[in-house]
Amino acid sequence: MQRNKLIYALADASLVVSSDLNKGGTWAGAIEQLDKLKFVPVFVRSTGESSAGLDALRKKGALPWPNPQDVDTFAEVFNVQMPTVTDSPQVGLSLLDGPPAAVTTGPIPPDAASLPTTESEPAVSNAQRHPMNCQ
């Protein structure tokens, strides 16, 4: 069940096609997303036979799936704005808290110029790195 958080965090949107009411991993993940995490919009299937689980998710804030008919309307699904989470359980740890990072626009410091870059490093094959492992 802990992987639900990761799946939602890596997704652009979620669609619940079927869910039991108050039980199962689909229900738990969708409820956690709607009530607490709010990483992505949660949609529920809007065609076919409904269920108590889908109806309850709609009442909790899940959006009806718009059933896009073309690429453009499908792309619009991913433009749903998520509400900002204001009651973070880790107060003060937000990346948005604190002063903005300083941006410098001057000359490169002398010691930074001597650091190697990926462009100046020659390509090294696996055989050159580990000659005993390659045959």
Angle at 104 between CA 102 and CA 106, to 5 degrees: 165
Q: Is residue 92 part of a domain?
A: no
Instruction: Identify the band that residue 110 occupies on the pLDDT scale cut at 50, 70 and 90.
Output: low
Instruction: Identify the band that residue 91 occupies on the pLDDT scale cut at 50, 70 and 90.
Output: very low
Q: Is residue 47 part of a domain?
A: yes
Eight-state DSSP code of residue 106: S
Question: What pLDDT score does 108 carry?
Answer: 56
Instruction: Identify the band that residue 43 occupies on the pLDDT scale cut at 50, 70 and 90.
Output: very high
What CATH code is carried by the domain that includes residue 33?
A: 3.40.50
Q: Mean per-residue pLDDT for 126-135?
A: 48
Expressed as residue numbers, the domain containing 29 is 3-77
Q: Is residue 36 part of a domain?
A: yes
User: Helix-strand-coil percent breakdown of the chain, rounded to 5?
Assistant: 35, 5, 60
Q: Is residue 119 part of a domain?
A: no
Q: Is residue 59 part of a domain?
A: yes
Q: Is residue 87 part of a domain?
A: no
- Altogether, the residues listed in the chain come to a count of 135
Which has more confidence, 56 or 83?
A: 56
Q: Is residue 117 part of a domain?
A: no
Q: What total of structural domains would you count in the chain?
A: 1
- Look at the pTM and tell me if it is higher than 0.85: no
Q: Mean per-residue pLDDT for 11-38?
A: 94
Q: Report the C-alpha gap between 58 and 43 in whole angstroms.
A: 8
pLDDT for residue 18 is more than 90: yes
Q: Is residue 48 part of a domain?
A: yes
- The rounded mean pLDDT for the chain is 76
